[in-house]
Structures are given as C-alpha cells and as structure tokens.
Structure 1
C-alpha cells in the first residue's frame, strides 16, 4: 500500500515546472505590447472553457485526495493544491500571451508537454499496479484535458486584418515549427498545381532584405566608429607621452618656446577631431567617382555638374578639369596658414594667462590685475579674429557641400537638355529623370562629407606638423650626473633605509667630483659658470653663495643634467636625488598627497619629516590639516609654506642627495632659523640620516643666518667674479645648535595615532558644513548648467541668435520636406 500511495504523488520535476512556468509566462506576456486580433470573442471563450474544465478537474483531484479514503502520503495533498494553483495561473498567463503575442506561447507549450509526460509516467505506473481509485480516474481526465489544451495552444491563431502581415512561420508555435507542419499547406498546394510566386509564403520579417540590410549597416557603422575612435585614442595615448617625455629631456627654456601645454591640449584635440574623417576622404572619393561615372552615362557632360559647381564656387578655372581632389588642394594652403596663425594666438593667450595665474598675489599687491585682465581680453579678441578666419573655411565647406547637392540636379538637367537640343541627342525621359535624381541623391552624402572633412584633415595635418617639429628639437645633452633626473622635485622613494642604499659607483670615495667643469644654457654663448674643480664627500653640507645672476641655479641645473652646454668632467656617486627649486612645483591636491607623492604613508617618518621642515605648526593652524587643498601652483599657501611643503616632500623621498635652490628666501626670520637648525644643526635631520646636501643661497642672506650656515657648512662654493671652492678643516663638528637648542623651543610632540587620524579624517575641529561641502559633487556637471547657454546667447546677441535659429529651422524643413 505504501508503494501504491507514493506513486499517486506528482513527481518533483512536475512541481518545479508548476512553479517556474506561469510566473515566467505571465511576466513575458505582460511586458509585451498589446495587439488587436480578430476574431477574438469565440476563440477566447473556447480557450477559457477548456481552462475552466482543467481547473474543475484539479479541484476534484484535490477533494479526492483530501476527503476520500484513498491511500495518501504527507505530500499528496500539497501536490494536489500546487496543481490547482498552477491551473489557475495557467489560465491567467495564457490570456495575457494570447492578446499580446502573434504566435502561440512557447512557455505554455513546454509546460504542457512536460506535465503531460510526467503525468503519463504516473498513470502508467498506477495502471501497472492495478490501482483504480478516484485519483487515478481524475488524473486520467487531467491528462486528457492537458492534451486538448496543448493542441489548442499550439494551433495557429487568426490574426484578422494582420493575417497578411506575418508569414506562417511567424504564426506557429514551437512544436509546429520543430515538426515543420506549417509547410504542409504549401506542399499540398504544390501537389495539386504548379506553384507561382504569389503562392509562396510571405518571408519572415526578420529575414527581409530591408531589415537585414538596415541591421547590418548599423552594426558595420558601429564597428567602424568603434575602431576609428580606438585608433584616435591610440594616437592620443602615443602623442601625449611623447610630448611629455620630450619636454623632460629638453632645456626648460627651449621647451617654453614651443608651449608643450598647447601641443598637448589644442593641437592634440585638433588631431583627434580631424582623424575622425581619415577614412572618409579616400572612401568618399571612390563613391563620388562611381556616382559621376553613372551620371555621365545618363546625362553625358551634365553629370559632371557637381564638380563644375564645386570648382566654380572656389573661383577656379572650370576648364582646368579639376575635381574634388583639386578642391582640397586649393583649400589646403590657406587652411594651413590660418590654422597656424590661430594656434599661435591660442599659445600666446595661454602663456600670458598662465603667467598671470602664477603671479596673482604679486599682481594684486602691485595693482596690475585690471591691466592684465584687459590685456588677456584683448588677446582673446585677437584670437577669436584668427579663429574666424580659419572657421570661415569650415563654413564655406559646409555651404559648398549642401549648395552643391541642391544646385547640381538643376545644372545637370540644364546641361543635358541644352546638349540634347544642340546635337539632337537623347531626350529626357521619365525613367532617365528618376534614375538621375536617384544618382544625385546617392552623390549628395559622399560629396558633403568630403568637402567637410578636407578642412578638418588639413587642420589635423597642421597640428601633427607642429608636434613633429617639437619632437625633432634637439635634446639637452645628458652630461649631468643625474641625467635621468629631469623633472624638478620628482621623487624616487626606492630605499627603505638611507644607510642601506646601494650606490651606482662604489669605487668613488667622494659624493661629487668635478674637474674644469663649465655649465651654461645656450651653445652659442659662453658658459655661465666656468672651470670649476671640487670634491664633495658624502654626508656633508655644501653651500653655494653669490650675488643674483651669478649662476647658482645654473650650477644645480648642470648637476641635474638640464643644461645645454657643459665642458670638463663631473661625476656623482648617486643615481638619484631630491631637488627643491626657487619656485616650488606643487600639484593641485592636498598637502598630504604633495608630500607623499607616489610613496606610501608611514606615520613615524611623516612626523619626523614635517618636524624637520617646520611644517607641523602650519598643519595645526589649518582647519583641514594635511587634507588642505593647496590649489593651482599652491595658491592657497604662502610663499614660505610652499617651500616647506616642497622641502618636506624632498626629505620624505629618502634620497641620499639633497639639492636646495635658495629655499629660505620665502621664510620669515624665526622660521628660517628653526628650519636651518633642524636640518643642519647638531643631530639635525641631514646629519642624522647622512644626507649629502648642496644648498644654493643668496649672498644677501641675513648676517646671523649666513653665519650659522657658514659655521655648519663643510664646503663653500663662492660664485662672483671668480669661482672659489673652500673646505672647512673640521667639517664633521658643527657649531650650529640642534633642533631643540638655543633660541628654539621644541614643538609639542604629536602621537602617531593622532597624526594617522588627521591624515585619514582631517582635523576634528573642521566644521561639518565645510567637510560636507568638500565631499559634495557639483550636480550641474551631470545635468548641465543653463547659465552657460545664457552666456553664449548674450555674447552672440539676440538678433544673431534669432537669425541663427530661423535659418536652422528653414534648413531642417527644406532638408526633410522632399522625403515626406
């Protein structure tokens, strides 16, 4: 009896199908758009009647399982209830699919097939064991009803007025399509008579030529655009690093003449914009040639009217047999010259603007801000004038492209009629006229694209030439001992401990050696510093003094390998160094990011570096601490603070050699004394970590500070009328007090945990409103800003704006009207 009872329960797979089909089917049908089919009333009534019968059968099955004295298990009644729920959901899903789908529902057919198969296995087993109870009878009726429902669901539907719009293959269900029953009517018809073209079925809409051609064109266009823009990105990715590396390998003064910022912005953008049409040029020429040949066959010489009009609009000799290539050739020289003039105007304005921004504080103190603003505005107006001359060619090309497509049919037909009347040639028939109009329409797009792409390509070629000239400029000779060290204040955080670092020349006893060494900037002039000979030992302090313009910065630049002229011999023990210039270079980021650079954050080392550079007190006074944004060129910091940030970055990099170019010029007296003591005093940072330091300082430095530096220095290089190198007899012992001695009070020590918390979250005293303001992004960057368009309209003027919009409306209407 247990075996018989277990065989009466639906299988597990049947339950899975019950749960998965109706929701999926109803969801698929609900998302589809409603369709109007006729006739619908009677088929729907028939379908719902069958659904109700199936539903009643499941109700009886459930009652028999619950009330009759049938052998049951604990899953029999739940299985019967699930079958009842599935019958209800089947009716709902079938109703949705019938009104919203052309062909029979796929999921319903598969659901009925699977449940019939499972129920058939169940009935076969019950029949084999001789069970003849109520559940057996109701299950047999359920299978029969499902078979009837399957036939009805798989039967093709009557679509009424839409019957001819779909092929039989589109209207049949999954079973019918797999069995190819939908082909039988055509086979029967073919057995009775010879098939004609009208007897064949309508082709599946997804296989029609129009749909396939349009889809293929869209896919191929997308692939073409994708590959084209990938090529443009590759070009940009190659040119920008090349310009950057070339800038680092050149004399800084020479690099400024070529304005690498303009090359990497305006010129690269023009190259990217012009290269969008790199395949349009040659492709359109082929299309134009084929279209002109076909037009020549139809209209004789009248088919050449597009070329004649283009040449005539350019003011060229019509008899010179010039074609579109000559059009581009005629425009090329003028376009190139005007573009070069425009780019030079952009470069000049950017240079002046950059200088103004970098010197904003000085300009405000001197009251020159209004004058500079007017000067920059004049340069902008001048630049717009240059741009107008260049863009006039673009406007001319657009007008030429559309004007040619509009006037060419009229001129072409006129020439054909005139020639036909003069020599009794062929007449202009209706077929010839429509064929010719179609060819003119085919010619319109490539002609327009060619005439518009040529100026952009020429502009791109001009920018490429500017980049080429810049890249071909002679590099600075790599004669300094830091020839790979080409960028100011670039950091090389490679060593974990200064005392364990490797030297590139372990045989050298001295840190730096020079013999009759001369350095300068221009090869055609005398060197700035001549015939220097000196030896500097490791872990020492060397001071370079002298009046303004004597060559202190040039000497340090020669050590870095940035000078154009060097003579003699000079060698260094180290392969890298840290450098601080007179004009600190800071990124537009936080103080923390400027100090760390590419290095990782180490709390103890960071605290020691900021202590030695005198930056700790400044960080405490700032609301955001190390998270303070320095601004462009360190605009939010004072001159001394910028120097101290640059100094902290150099110290944090753990380089064995430290080059300092007059970094104390922006310090106040107290800060200057404090930093000198902490760097070069007894137990100072440089002494403690065995740094070899070369410091260039002005000869007019305060007497007390100068005395302290001189007493601490191991070597002194004096640059005036004669280069002098002196060495202190007892260079190891320094009379300068340590960082906590003398007049200097030690700053309160900040714990590592406290400093780490500041680095992560900034100072706790920061107002919540300020922190929220820093974290909130500008929503206008996502949605756009109406004030930008308002500004453009105000600059253009109301009258010009109205005329522009009216012209665009007329052009759009005229362009779309013939196709309506």
Structure 2
C-alpha cells in the first residue's frame, strides 16, 4: 500500500497488519502535537526570557543545540524529499512535514532559553519529545510496512534516522543540570532540578527513602522546602489580591481571593486528571473487546500481543497521570496552608488588645487548617467524578437502552438527600469547632498558669471543667459524624444498589460480555459518585473553616490613634489638632515636648472611659513618674502612650516618630528561650551594652547562681524565673533596645527593697543608664518613695489627672502627692547611700552559695534514638482498643469481614448467572438471580452502616473521653518541674493536634484500613477464577507488598512524627506572640515576628509536604504492581483461552483491586502515623510521674487547721 493510499478513510485501521491508517497517524501523531508544541513554545520563550540565568554550562548547551540542529537538518531533508515529487503524497502528508520542521525549529528556541533560565530540564520540551517519540515509532513502522518504491524506502529510512536523533536529544535534555547551577544547592530541594520523568515517577524522593530506611530522620535530614512554596512570596501574592474592605458581606470572599491567588496551581492538575479519566475509561472498552475475542474459537497472536500491550499502556498511563496530577494538587494544598497560616498570624499581630481572639486564632491555625487540608484532598475528584458519571451513563444507554435511567435515578435521589444533609453540615461543623476552640483555649491557659493553679488549689476543679468541655465537644462532634455516616451511606448506595436494580429492569438480551461491560460502566458511574458524596461533607467542612478564618480576618484591628508631627509641619499640625478638638487653652506645643495629650478620653469599652479629660505634656529627655491608687488607670495611661487603647477621643501627638519604644508591661512578657535571647530580642548583640544592662538590673547576681548563667532557658511564660527576675529581665530588654522613649508599667513589683533601690539608682537615678542616654522615661509605679528623683509627676485618681507638675511643686500644694508624706532627698547624699547599699548587697549575694536556684533547661527534646520512630509500637493498638472497649473493637473487625464478603461474592454470583444465561436450558429464573444479587448488595450496605456507627460514634465517644481524662489527670498531677522543662507548645499539641487526630484521622484510617484489607482478600479470591495460574503469583505478590510497605513505612512514619513535632514550635511562637503583642508592637518587633513565623512555617511544611509526596510514591508503586497483574492476567487469558465469565469477573475485580491495595498500605500508613497520637499520649501518661508521693495523699478534716504555725529550718529547694 503506497503512502498516498487513503481508500479506506482517515479512521480505518489496517487489520491485516494490525496497524493504524497512515493519514490518521500523521494527523493525530504529528500535526496535532506539533501544533500544540509550537504555540506553547512561543509562550514559554516569552516568559522565560524575563528570568535571570541560573545555569552556566556552555559546552553542554552547545552539545544539545548541535543534536537539535542535526534533527532540523533531517526534517529539512524529509521536506525536500516530499517536495521533489519522487513519490505521490497527500496534502496531509505535506502539512505533516512542514509542521514537523517548524516544531524542530521551536525545539532550538526552547532548548536555548530553558537551558540557562530554568534549573530543571525543560518540562515542555521533554514532554513533547517523549510523546512524539512514541508516535514516531508507530509512524516509522507504518511507513516501512507501506514502502514499495525506492524513494519511499529512502524516506522511511531518513524518518527512522531522525527518530534515532530524537532519542539522543531526549537523553541530553533530560540530563540534570544540578552541578552547573549557580545557587547554593544545600538551600534547594532536588525537586527543583528534577525532570518531568523524575517528577512523574517521584524518583527525586529516593535519597530520603534510603536515609529513612537506614537511619532515624531528623529535621536537618529533610530536603529544603521548594522556593515556590515559601510562605512570604505566597503571602505577598495573596495580599496583592486581597481587599479587606470588600471582604465583609461576602460569605465566600476569602475563598475567591485564594482561588485568584492560586489559580495556576489550581488549574495545573486538570489536564492530568482528564488524562487519568481517559485511561480509566479505557478499562471497560478493553474488557469488552477482550471478552468478545475470548468468546471466539481462537485469537490471533498479534491480537493477543496487542491486548497485552494495551493492558500495560492503560494501567501505566493511569499510574503516571495520577502521580503527576496529585503531585501538583498536593503543592496547591501546601500553598493554601502557607497562605492561611501566615495571614492568621499577620492578622493576630494587628489585633486589638483585650479582643480575646487569641484562642480562636490558635484553633484556626491548627484544627481549622487541618480540616481545610482534608476538605481539599478530593477537590479534583469532585468535578472529574461528575464527568465520569455522565460518560458512563451514556455508555450504559448505548448498551442497555433506557434502563440506564435506573442508576441515574438512584444517584439523583441520593444526591437530593445529600443536598439536604449538606445544609446541616456547616452548622454542625461550626458547633464542633467552637467546642474545640473553647477546650483548647482553656487548656492552653491552664498549662500557662499551672503554677498559680497549683498554689491556689484550683487545679482539680479546673480539670473537671476542662473534662466537661471535652465531653460537650465530643457530643457536638458526634452530630457532625452522624451526618458524615449518612453521607457515606448515600455515597455507597448507588454503587451497591444500582447494579441489581439496573439488571432487574433491563429488557435487553444479556450475555457475558454485556453483563460484565455494563458492570464496569456501572462501577465508573457509581464509584466517583460515592467519592463525591463522602467528599462533599469534607469539602463543605473545609469551606466552613475558611469562613471561620474569614470571620477572624474581619475582626476589628488595632487603630493607632497617635499622630506624629513632621519637623516641617509641626506647628501647622498642632494648630489643626487644636481646632479639631475645640481646645483653646493650650498653645502649640514647644519643640521640647515628646508627647502631648489634649482633651483625651480613653477606655476599653465603647462609651466607658477609664481616663477622662486628660491633658498632659511629656518633655524630651525627662523622667516622668505616674502614680495613683490601685485602679486609678496607670496601666491604661501607659497603653495610651503606646496607642493600644481601643476607645479614644481627643489627641495624642508624638513630636517625632518612635518606631521602637522600650516598654515593660505590668505582667512581664517572656519568650520561651534563654535569658539572653529574651534580653536581646531581635537586636544585635553588643557586649558592652549588654554588660551595662545586666549590671544595672542586678541580673549579674542571678547569673552567678544559675549554672547555665544567661543561657538558662526561662521556660514557657518565664515559668523557671521568679516574679522579680522576670521583671528585671523585661526591664533589661527595654534598656538594651536602642530607643529614645521608654515606658515602664510597675517594673518594681516582685523586687525586694534592696534590689529595688539598686535598680532604681543604676537605671533611673543621677548618672543612671537612662539619664546618660538622655532618654525620655515614663514610669508608672506604686514605689512612690522615688518621686523626688523625677522631673515631672502625674497623679491619677477618679478617672482623670488629679494633679501634675514637679515633685517640689506638688509637695507644697496639699494634694495627693503631699498626702504621701515623702521627704525630698534627691539633692542630698541619700542617692549615694542607696548606691553603696545596693553595691554591697550585690557583692555579698555574689559570694553566696546558689544551690537550689531554679535552673531552666531547654524544652522537651525529641528522642531520635527511639527505634519505635521507624518501626512503630504495636502495644499502642492494645492501648487504643482498651480505651474504646474490646467488645467494640471485635465488632469492628467482624463487620469489616462481612463487608469484604458481601462486596466480592456478588461478582462470582454474576458469573453463575451468565453461565445459566448462555446454557441451553436455564435452571433458575431472572428474578431468582436478581433477588440473591440484591440481597448480597443490601447486606454490604447494612454492614457499612453498622461499622460506621461503631467506629465513628461509639468508639470516638469512649476513646476520646477516656484518653483525654487520663492525659488531663497526668497533666494536673505533674510536678512543677515538668512545666519548667517542657515547652507549652509541646503540651498544648497533645490536647489540640493529637486529640484532633484521635477524633478525625485515626477512626477514618482504621475504618478504611479494615475496608481495604477485607475487600482485597475477597478480590484476591475472585481473580484466580479466570486462571488458577494467577494464584501462583500471590506468594510473590505478598512478599513484594510486604517489602514495599516495610520500606515505605520506616520513612513515612518518621515523617509523620516530624510533621507533628515541627508544628509545636510554630504554635509556641504564636502563643508567645499573642501573649506579648503589646510589648512586641512597642519594640517594633512585629516584622521580625512575622519573619520568624515564616521560617517556622516553612520548616513545618518540610515534613508535611514530603509526607504527602511519599504517599503518592506508594500509590505509584502499587499502581505499577496492578499493571503487572493486569498484564499477567491478560496474557494468561489470551494464551490459555480462559472462560470469558471468570475472565470478566477477574478483570472487573482488577479495576478496583489496585485501589484496595493502595488503600491497604496508604490507610494502614495513615493509621500507623495517626496512632502516633495515641503513642504520644501513652508515653506522656507513662513517663510524667505525679508530684504526689506515697503518704502525701492524706485529706485533712474540714476544720483543719484551727491553730498552729509553719516553721522552715535549713530548707533547700529547687525545681529539680
């Protein structure tokens, strides 16, 4: 047949040579892919030309360009041969040659631009080369088969030569450029330099797998996070699309902004998901054709080989397209988490103090983000499932007629009922999350204030209240889980009920091919709908959580009402302010004024002002003391100067911008770090300045006592330090800061008299640090004895300023200051006496033995040598089953076994039915087979319902309450030393992240693991029915699966543990930040805190992202195993000419067997990693010993003590 022969049309397949038509190949294998490549290459070249060069490898670049130019020359030769007219060709043939030449020229352009400007091999070029290489192989075979004349043979030979050159080009283009990249490779992930093939088979994960298998992984062993996933650049893109003013009133405003920001990552998986959909639909067509051929007397060898090749291509295509699709989808989910966590943190730093949104924000960062992540998990399966169901319904109509409406009707009914359920999902989800928020927030508060709770004797009372909140939370969660169970029932109903109903109402004649092909299409119709029905509640739940985050973002932020005057417009602005406030009594402030308050009214609630009619000036380089009775508003006055008061009237004007203000709050704020870290903050270390500060605050005495000196870890909220020590560390931080303004709120509380004198003289007195620096100081204090040393005194009382002026003036006016009876000693020698006394005290204390001083230590460290991190601890399962009850655990296994039987035996029953149909005399009626078939399917549905109730209602209620009670009891009874050595973020993680896993992922993973195990066992029993030889492979298959899961689990389990552990510093930092937000804003540390949050977030993303990737690696490996099984099953069927009924049953079973295998390892892995939450609780309860010892549990009578005394003789005490 010559090249130009098109007698049989474009779509005719040459059955004699088992080959495609040449015109079909040239149109779909050449013109179409080349045209798409040319268009995409132009866009790619334009976008890449704007990027900087990151690769320098000129010799390698010239080698690639030389190979491509050679290929261009061969394409020119082919076009010349076509144009010479040596053989007759069609217009499609000519068009194909022209387009191939243009595409070859585009290859030169893309190779050149991508070589220098892309760290990875060109994805576009490599994809084009690989696909067209496969197409060219088919075309080359066709050309040689059709060649009759010498010119045609010559053309075919040149075409084959160009094919060989293309292989060389593909080899060169896929080579990694890693060793020629100009950036620091230690700061970038291998993923960033991987080719499309490495990404497709996830081979870039190999080194992490090997390291995880051989040793214990730590955070430093993990790949750096891909730069494209870094939180800062993602959040910057988010802010570019965010308009907070338009957020209110739009329920889905935040969702829209996220979609706009992540539009490209959201759309990228779609082509690959469509490819997966196409390969999936090839399965029933493959089954249909194979069964048709098996019903014939014999099968030609070429046809048999074609079926084997088709099986490999179909299942290989499904594996690779799924891997790439979910790889891109997981990247989008990681980006979503980065954006939302960064935005929550950023918004929390802008919150008003006293708004009480901090606990809500912590829950949003942890529990709500996890719910969003789960909700997005099946996002692309929702729309793809709808398309798949529609196509499957159409195929059913072609084969069975109008009876296809039966499964559609079942789906419509279930979907309608699901729509009713969805209306309750959001409210139940919000009620559940609100319960979680209350409990986690109170628990975090209890942990932070454990010292005070123990001293007050309220620990057990608070414990009972927290446990009550846990029970209420579980009850609220049960309502959501009931909806989830009903949604799952509605999801499985079409899959289980549609086949018997469809076969019952069909009027078409049935045979083996039609029954099993229809069953395959029914699976394609109902399976995605089952996933949609179970995914929609999760998706709605995730959207509801995004709504909660949006509500938090809509909360009113802090408004800094202070105004700053520029030097150029100072007088003008003051005059405008005077006019606005209606004041005419005070003239424009002089240049010496640092802060001016005019007609100020300040309060924490609307129209309720703590301070009223405030008019005051604070001079530059002055020392102002603010005094007054308890509750007179001194702390409010300090917050006013910082611009932190939510309700204000009048004006507060700063004569100069003060980006950094040294501030000490009434309650000292401490980071969970060393003393030096708390003093330095984000400032650069200056030894001279640092030493002067610690000397002035008398901390040098404490450093002598502490074995680790200033490297002592203060613990969460400074729990290892006394109140006085915390105040002095806070003061030292304010003094170390480079600032022209210092505002101090009651910094002398908790200091003994001698230390107070020393600190005052060294810091505030004549020649003190602040006087030497000419710093403006505002000190609110109860220590009125130092008033004579001040430059200005403000006395508060009755919600206003009672009097103000110099001490001498006020001491003679007969007001509040005079009533204090303080003698003016500022000009005498009293200050020297104070200095000498304090210095003597310091020398004496430094010489004392310091046994028993609290010595902080770093927060709880992770034991990386624990072998259970890699292999797991099976005793944890017993602990979990005991917490839910052994009877409940037994019921779970029994019901799962019933599920496995009732979902697989119906396939064998269909084989018996089709055999009876094909027999000459039928032994049973149509209704008999349909009735038994329906009974088996309904029984499977009932077993599913009972299993869901047992696991999601009964077990969660029991295990959740019992585990929380045991952990909370251990926490309350723990000694105080435990809290001094353990980070609050680690403890809070037990009650938030771990309990969330126990309530959500753990039962879900257990349910799906049981489902998949027993379903796979049933499927494994069905598949050998087509050929007993297949059963021979089962031992090898079992060994292979065991090896894969063992190799995989050692890494994935460690990554899951690292994922949970990496979140603790993130949560700790968040809690520290919101607790000290006033101090941090005053110090100008907010940008530093946001940057630190970004670093911690990126670090926490490393194990989470890699965990998602290794799970997809496992899916890929299992899909490859299914591909091998499909090829073996097809080969046995065509070579042994197996029974078509059993072959149909085996192939239909194989369609879901891969999912079952993947499910076993994936869900078991998820179970193993989720059970880590139980392991941590078990370890916590076992290792944290109660503070009460034997004989210390005596309960005294109610009237004790009637009289008596407490004596302490030679007591030494310490935290450890």
For the criterion TM > 0.5, the same-fold answer is yes
How far residue 343 of structure 1 moved from its aligned partner, in angstroms, is 0.8
Give the 3 Å change call, closer, same or farther, for CA 793–508 of structure 1 in structure 2. farther
- Note if 1:706 corresponds to 2:784: yes
Match of 1:390 in 2: 480
Alpha-carbon distance in structure 2 between the residues aligned to 1:185 and 1:283: 40
Question: C-alpha separation between the residues in 2 aligned to 1:371 and 1:292?
Answer: 61
Deviation at 1:680, TM superposition (A): 0.8
| TM-superposed deviation, 1:739 | 9.9
Aligned residues: 571
Equivalent of residue 267 in structure 1, options 364, 368, 383: 368
Aligned to 1:235: 336
Q: Hey, what does 2:1046 align to over in structure 1?
A: none
Tell me the SS of whatever aligns to 1:744.
helix
Q: Which residue of 2 aligns with 1:289?
A: 390
Question: Secondary structure of the residue that 2:831 maps to in structure 1?
Answer: coil
1:803 partnered with 2:904: no
Match of 1:555 in 2: 637
Partner Cα distance (1:611, 1:549) in 2 = 33
Matched with 1:594 is: 678
* Cα distance in 1, alignment partners of residues 841 and 363 from structure 2: 46
The partner residue of 2:775 within 685, 691, 694 is 691
| Contact in 1 for aligned 2:603/2:645 (Cα 8 Å) | yes
Cα distance in structure 2, aligned partners of 1:216 and 1:443: 21
Contact 2:792–2:807, Cα closer than 8 Å, also in 1: no
- The Cα shift of 1:781 comes to 7.8
Aligned equivalent of 1:782: 869
1:740–1:746 contact (8 Å) kept in structure 2: no
Q: Work out the CA distance in 2 between the residues paired with 1:213 and 1:199.
A: 20
Instruction: Quote the offset at 1:439 in angstroms.
Output: 0.7
Residue of structure 2 in register with 1:538 after alignment: 620
2:562 and 2:686 mapped to 1: Cα distance? 32
Using the alignment, how far apart are the partners of 2:316 and 2:336 within structure 1? 30
1:522 aligns with 2:605: yes
The CA deviation at 1:787 is: 6.2
The answer on whether the counterparts of 1:258 and 1:470 sit within 8 Å (CA) in structure 2 is no
SS at match of 2:617: strand
CA distance in 1, matches of 2:608, 2:440: 32
Structure possessing the higher radius of gyration over alpha carbons: 1
Higher helix share: 2
Match of 2:795 in 1: 718
Q: Aligned equivalents of 1:720 and 1:687: distance in 2? A: 29
Report the alpha carbon displacement of residue 230 of structure 1 after superposing the two structures with TM. Answer: 1.9
Secondary structure of the residue that 1:570 maps to in structure 2?
Answer: strand
Cα distance in 2, alignment partners of residues 804 and 507 from structure 1 = 81
Could you tell me how far apart the structure 2 residues matched to 1:327 and 1:793 are? 34
Matches within 5 A, 1:226-625: 226-256=327-357, 259-300=360-401, 302-309=403-410, 322=413, 324=415, 326-416=416-506, 420=507, 426-480=508-562, 508-523=591-606, 525-572=607-654, 573-576=656-659, 577-625=661-709
Structure 2 residue aligned with 1:491: none
Output aligned runs, 1:631-780, within 5 Å: 631-697=715-781, 701=782, 705-708=783-786, 710-721=787-798, 722-728=800-806, 737=831, 741-745=835-839, 777=864, 779=866
Distance 2:628 2:867 in 1: 54
CA drift at 1:392 = 2.2
1:780 positional shift: 6.5
Change (3 A) 1:547 1:221: farther
For residues 336 and 776 of structure 1, do their structure 2 counterparts lie closer, same or farther at Cα, with a shift above 3 Å needed? closer
* CA separation of 1:457 and 1:359: change in aligned 2, threshold 3 A: same
TM-superposed deviation, 1:522: 2.2
Contact 2:487 2:533 in 1 (8 A): yes
For residues 510-536 of structure 1, the C-alpha deviation after alignment (integer angstroms, 9 at most, x for no partner) is 21111112211223x232211211111
Aligned counterpart in structure 1 of residue 711 of structure 2, from 627, 635, 650:
627
**Partner Cα separation in structure 2 for residue 441 and residue 586 of structure 1:** 60
Q: Contact between 1:250 and 1:475, CA under 8 Å: does it hold in 2? A: yes
Structure 2 residue runs without a partner (length 5+): 1-136, 149-298, 566-588, 810-824, 844-849, 901-1010, 1024-1216
How far apart are the structure 2 equivalents of 1:602 and 1:471? Answer: 39
Native 8 Å contact 1:715 1:725 kept in 2: no
CA deviations over 1:582-613 (Å, ceiling 9, x no partner): 22222222222222222232222221111222
The 3-state SS of whatever aligns with 1:563 is coil
CA distance in 1, matches of 2:353, 2:309: 65
2:803 and 2:894 map into 1 onto residues whose CA distance is 79
Could you tell me how far 1:801 is from its partner in structure 2? 1.9
Gaps of 5+ in 1: 1-176, 189-196, 311-320, 421-425, 484-505, 750-762
Aligned residue number for residue 1014 of structure 2: 813
Q: How far does residue 480 in structure 1 lie from its aligned partner after superposition?
A: 2.7
**1-side partners of 2:840 and 2:876: how far apart?**
54
- 1:481-511 CA-to-partner distances (Å, cap 9, x unmatched) read 599xxxxxxxxxxxxxxxxxxxxxx994221
TM-score, normalising length: structure 1: 0.63
Post-superposition Cα deviations, 1:366-388, rounded to whole Å, max 9, x if no partner, equal 11111111111111121112112
Contact 1:678–1:739 (8 Å) recurs in 2:
no
On the 8 A contact 1:656/1:691 being kept in 2, the answer is: yes
Q: CA deviation at 1:741?
A: 1.8
In the alignment, the residues of structure 2 paired with residue 443 and residue 775 of structure 1 have an alpha-carbon distance, to the nearest angstrom, of 48
1:242 match: secondary structure: helix
Residue 233 (structure 1) shift: 2.1
> Could you report, residue by residue, the CA deviation over 1:165-194 in whole angstroms, capped at 9, with x for unpaired residues?
xxxxxxxxxxxx9xx9xx999999xxxxxx
Distance verdict in 2 for CA 1:480–1:792, change over 3 Å: farther
**Aligned counterparts, 1:54-133, within 5 A:** none
Distance across 1 between alignment mates of 2:893 and 2:763:
68
Of stretches 771-780 and 407-416 in structure 1, the one that deviates more from structure 2 is: 771-780
**Equivalent in the alignment of 1:87:** none
CA distance in 2, matches of 1:773, 1:386: 33
CA distance in structure 1 between the partners assigned to 2:663 and 2:611 by the alignment: 20
Displacement of 1:269 in angstroms is 1.7
CA distance in 2, matches of 1:201, 1:437: 24
Deviates more, 1:575-584 or 1:447-456: 575-584
Question: What is the Cα deviation at residue 257 of structure 1?
Answer: 7.5
Rounded to whole Å, the distance in 1 between the matches of 2:672 and 2:425 is 38
Alignment match, 2:322: 221
- Which position in structure 2 is the counterpart of 1:173? none
Determine if contact 1:291/1:443 at 8 Å carries over to the other structure. Answer: yes
CA gap 1:719/1:792 in 2 versus in 1, 3 angstroms: farther
Kept in 2: contact 1:684–1:739 (CA 8 A): no
Q: Which is further off, 454-463 or 625-634?
A: 625-634
C-alpha distance in structure 2 between counterparts of 1:431 and 1:373, whole Å: 66
User: 1:741 aligns to what SS in structure 2?
Assistant: helix
* Structure 1 Cα separation of the partners of residues 719 and 343 of structure 2: 29
Per-residue deviation, residues 377-418 of structure 1 (Å, max 9, x unmatched): 1111211121122122223333443343223211221232xx
